[in-house]
Each structure stands twice: as C-alpha cells, then as structure tokens.
Amino acid sequence: MAGGYTVNDLIRLLLHVAWWLLLAPLLPGIINRVKSWVAGRRGPPILQLYFDLARLWKKSVVMSTLASPAFIAGPAVAWVAVVGAAMLVPLGPAGALLHFRGDVLLMLYLLALARFATAWAAMETGSAFEGMGAAREVSYAILAEAAMVAAMLSLSIETGTVSLTTMLAPSAGAGAVLLAAGLFTVLLAENCRVPFDDPNTHLELTMIHEVMVLDHSGPPLAVILHGASVKLLLFSVLLVQAVLPMGELSPTAAPGVLLVGVFTVAVGVGLVESFLARFSFRRVPLLLTTAFLLCIFAVLVAWKGGAA
C-alpha cells in the first residue's frame, strides 16, 4: 500500500479501534447484569448502553442560557483525551497503536485532561449544584491520581522502562497482589463506582460525577457516557496486564486471556456494587489513601526486588 502501510497494518488499526470504541459499552451492561443476578432481578439487557447511545444521538441538545460553547466542547475534549490515552495502552502482544518512550506520562496527563474538561463543562452551567460535584470530583482525584502514579512507578521500577508496551509485558512480580488491590480500588474511584459513587443515584447529597452531567443532553451526553465506558475498559485492561504476564503468552492465546480478564474485572465490579453500599464522604479519602499505600508498598517490593 502507498505510504508504507500494509493490509495487516490496516487490519490491526481496525481491530484496536473496535476493541476500544465498540467493546467498551459492553462493560457497564455486564456490571448491571451481575447486580441484577445477585438481587434476583431480570435487569436491563446487557447491550442497554448501546441502545441508550443510539437514542441520545438522535435527540436535540438543551443548553442553559448561561452556558458558553465550552459546555459542548468539554465533553468532546474529554472523549478525545480518554480515547487518546486508550490508544497508548497495549493489548498484549498486539501492542498499542501509539507507543514511545515515556508514553505512560502522556497517558496520565490525558486522563487528567479528561477530568479537567468534564469539570470545566460542569462549571459552565453556572449552577452551584454542578459546581459542588466538580469540587468533589477534583478533591478525590488528588488521592486517586497519586495512587495511579505510584502504580505506574511500581511497574516502571520492575521493568526498568517508562514505555507502557514494555511495562505491561511481564507480571508485577512479588507485588502483584498489592498492585492489583490498589489498581482495583483506583478503578472504582476513577470510574465513579460503588463504594465511592453510585452511577444510578440522583440524590443531591451523594452525587459526585453524576451531578456534573445532569444538564447535558443529546449527543454531548452520549459522548460522556461512551467516554466513561472507554475509561472503564482502559483501567480494566491496565489492571489485567499489570497482574498477568501477557508478554509470555502466544499471539493467539493473549487476546482470549485479556478478554476473559476484562470480563472478570467487570464481574468483580458488579459483585462489589452488589454487596457494598456507598461510603460516606468522610470515609472516601481513607479508602483512597489505602489504595495509595498499597501501590506504594508495591513500589517498595519492586525496588527491593530489583536491588536483590
């Protein structure tokens, strides 16, 4: 093909895009189905989010008279940032669409940009209610991001590199259990799941992320919901590859193992939400601090292991 690209490169590109963009809305459906099964209910279809996205995309946008164009630009910027971060994450031996030395730093910055854009759009409504949610979101993000940085530092020390493709090839070694517990807690916090937040609630005193998107409608809301599912898939893939030695698997077995691992994480999230209630605000920082300490202990294990 012209430009040095082959048919295999095109197929690889399409498979990566399909994984991140088309598979992502399936995870919330799996979580809701697990919660319904535990509660003894039938629950919504596993493909419900796909239906919701198609319905929202056909609706019109309703905006506050105080909102500027940033109210629409915020969700778009957040979606592009999350998808860009996802493209840096390798999929086992298939690698990542974009990779270079130090790409883990860019991934962390893109995730931070997505949070900033979402909070920015919430503030554009001029509502104290959404401003309250944005304040809660960024307050908890301080601890969640610290835990995430510590987790990536642990993998970097273990492998001696700052490239995600190399960092996620082996397992986390002796600190795998600590890292898995810390990353799973960060996953729940970053994706606004129980016990940090409840994506199904609309109670004023308990909402964090949901309150920031109450004024969005139509395509912007669809973009927000799809971006949230991509973010959930991103953290699930990171968790699976940080624990399992994906680089040692064959190219044919790795995709199946990764898919099963992501499915297991989604089931785990559903079980957590089924058996735990949402924590009070004063207990959330304590749980995030615990996640940070778990990742710090994983850093110490990797450091001492490397020194030995």
If you write DSSP's letter for every residue of 121-165 in order, what string do you get? HHHTT--HHHHHHHHHHHHHHHHHHHHHHHHHHHHHHHHT---HH
- Which pLDDT score is estimated for 1? 43
Residue 33 to residue 80: CA distance in whole angstroms: 28
Q: How many CA atoms lie within 13 A of 207 on its CB side?
A: 18
- Which pLDDT score is estimated for 205? 61
Rama region for 23: left / alpha / beta (φ>0; ψ in -120 to 50; rest): alpha
Q: What is the largest CA-CA distance in the chain?
A: 63
> Is residue 44 a part of any domain in this protein?
no
> Is residue 41 a part of any domain in this protein?
no
> Closest by alpha carbon to 62, among 202, 281, 216, 230?
216
Q: What is the mean pLDDT of each run of 10 residues along the chain (308 residues)?
A: 68 92 97 95 94 96 88 97 97 90 96 96 87 89 95 94 92 86 96 86 68 91 97 97 89 92 97 90 91 96 75
> Is residue 21 a part of any domain in this protein?
no
> Is residue 30 a part of any domain in this protein?
no
Residue 215 to residue 213: CA distance in whole angstroms: 6
Residue 197 to residue 203: CA distance in whole angstroms: 11
CA–CA distance from 229 to each of 19, 63, 155, 164, 280 (Å)? Answer: 12, 24, 25, 21, 25
Quickly count: other Cβ atoms within 10 Å of residue 78's Cβ.
26
> Closest by alpha carbon to 197, among 187, 208, 182, 186?
208
> Is residue 227 a part of any domain in this protein?
yes
Residue type present at position 82 = V
Total-model pTM:
0.95
Residue 241 to residue 262: CA distance in whole angstroms: 10
> Is residue 14 a part of any domain in this protein?
no
Number of domains in the chain: 1
DSSP state of 278: P
Q: What DSSP string runs through 229-243?
A: HHHHHHHHHHHHHHH
- Which pLDDT score is estimated for 202? 62
> Is residue 281 a part of any domain in this protein?
yes
> Is residue 62 a part of any domain in this protein?
yes
- Which pLDDT score is estimated for 168? 93
Domain carrying residue 205: 50-307
Angle subtended at Cα 60 by Cα 57 and Cα 65, rounded to the nearest 5 degrees: 135
